[in-house]
């Protein structure tokens, strides 16, 4: 009897394992404070230090996407920038702000990756190199998010409305890093036809996107087509991080929030 039960259990385990290996494990939906988290591990584990945990929510409340991803030069994919400690110590990438001098939200921003580290620096190092470790943060997500208008998915916050209401004021440039720029002449909104019949068409707002990104963040790296309608976008591609998915699967509101994009009224 015991032998039969054992055999049955073993078979169940084997079949479960096979099933999981075929279809993969369903991704857990990130919690509001986890959404937009990036783990940076180009060299950390190789040098016996915990990988860096970067939280987008606190940084995007202070700076537009363009400041970091165009002016400072961060890549749009985790690990794509190839940041080294020396780069930070020399005042580039994270070191552009994390230099021990810049003031943000009334606090001096701690310096990242000094050239010579001693035992006292360990507390400073783990503020970023905190993957798998319990490190107290200066900023609490729930306290931060309390006054902001809420949304259903992603961080659970309506970032666009937060900015409109002046609850967050992301800077559009960084002194000494960003060059002087004229204000952008905004392109008009346009509609994209949905492939599925009955699904509302997408209204794409250039104005909303250029406020945060400028032009060069999207063109041509993310959107290469120059003539409207020449490139076909599919939800499969987008969910794999192509085109809109470059941001709307990682940091901006996720694809589960269909009506944010598919917003053109359906004509009967």
Partner 1 sequence: MVPTAMVFKAKLWTQLATIFKRTIRKGTPFKQTVVAAVLFMGLAAWCCERAVHEVSALAGQADTARQSSQESSESWRTEFDNICAKTEDAMTFSQEELTDLIRRCDSLQPQIEKLDESRKKVYLERLRKCRGLYAYVLDAKKKDKK
> Which residues in this chain contact partner 1 in the complex, by CB under 8 A?
70-73, 75, 82, 84, 86-87, 90-93, 115-116, 179-185, 187, 214-217, 219-221, 224, 226-227
State the minimum distance, in angstroms, from the CB of residue 162 to partner 1: 24
Residues in a beta bridge with 108:
103
State the minimum distance, in angstroms, from the CB of residue 217 to partner 1: 8
CA distance 145 to 162: 10
Task: List CB contacts of 44: < 8 A, sequence separation 6 or more.
Answer: 50, 51, 52, 129, 131
Which CB atom, from 70 or from 126, has the smaller least distance to partner 1? 70
CA distance 163 to 52: 28
Which CB atom, from 87 or from 163, has the smaller least distance to partner 1? 87
Which CB atom, from 183 or from 193, has the smaller least distance to partner 1? 183
User: Cα dist. 1→4, 5, 8, 207 in Å?
Assistant: 5, 6, 11, 70
State the minimum distance, in angstroms, from the CB of residue 256 to partner 1: 30
Which CB atom, from 113 or from 244, has the smaller least distance to partner 1? 113
* Helices and strands in the chain, H and E counts: 10, 6
Tokens for 189, please give them: 């909104």
Of residues 176, 135, 121, 161, the one with CA closest to residue 51: 135
State the minimum distance, in angstroms, from the CB of residue 199 to partner 1: 28
Which CB atom, from 167 or from 174, has the smaller least distance to partner 1? 174
Is the CB of residue 79 less than 8 Å from the CB of residue 42? Answer: yes
The DSSP call for residue 93 is G
State the minimum distance, in angstroms, from the CB of residue 266 to partner 1: 31
State the minimum distance, in angstroms, from the CB of residue 183 to partner 1: 7
Which CB atom, from 35 or from 74, has the smaller least distance to partner 1? 74
């Amino acid at each position: 009897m015991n032998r039969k039960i054992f055999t049955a259990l073993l078979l169940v385990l084997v079949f479960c394992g096979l099933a999981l290996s075929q279809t993969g494990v369903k991704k857990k939906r990130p919690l509001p404070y986890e959404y937009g988290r990036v783990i940076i591990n180009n060299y950390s584990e190789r040098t016996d230090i915990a990988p860096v945990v970067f939280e987008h929510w606190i940084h995007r409340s202070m700076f537009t996407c363009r400041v970091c991803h165009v002016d400072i030069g961060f890549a749009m994919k985790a690990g794509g920038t190839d940041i080294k400690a020396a780069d930070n110590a020399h005042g580039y990438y994270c070191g552009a702000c994390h230099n021990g001098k810049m003031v943000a939200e009334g606090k001096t921003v701690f310096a990242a990756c000094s050239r010579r580290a001693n035992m006292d620096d360990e507390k400073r190092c783990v503020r970023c190199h905190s993957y798998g470790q319990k490190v107290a943060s200066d900023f609490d997500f729930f306290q931060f998010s309390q006054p902001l208008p809420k949304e259903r998915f992603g961080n659970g916050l309506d970032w666009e409305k937060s900015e409109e209401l002046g609850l967050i004021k992301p800077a559009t440039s960084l002194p000494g890093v960003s060059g002087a720029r004229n204000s952008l002449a905004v392109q008009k909104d346009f509609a994209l036809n949905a492939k599925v019949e009955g699904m509302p068409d997408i209204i794409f707002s250039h104005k909303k996107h250029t406020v945060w990104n400028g032009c060069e963040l999207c063109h041509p790296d993310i959107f290469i087509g120059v003539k409207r309608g020449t490139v076909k976008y599919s939800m499969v591609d987008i969910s794999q991080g192509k085109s809109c998915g470059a941001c709307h699967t990682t940091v901006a509101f996720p694809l589960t929030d269909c009506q944010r994009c598919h917003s053109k009224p359906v004509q009967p």
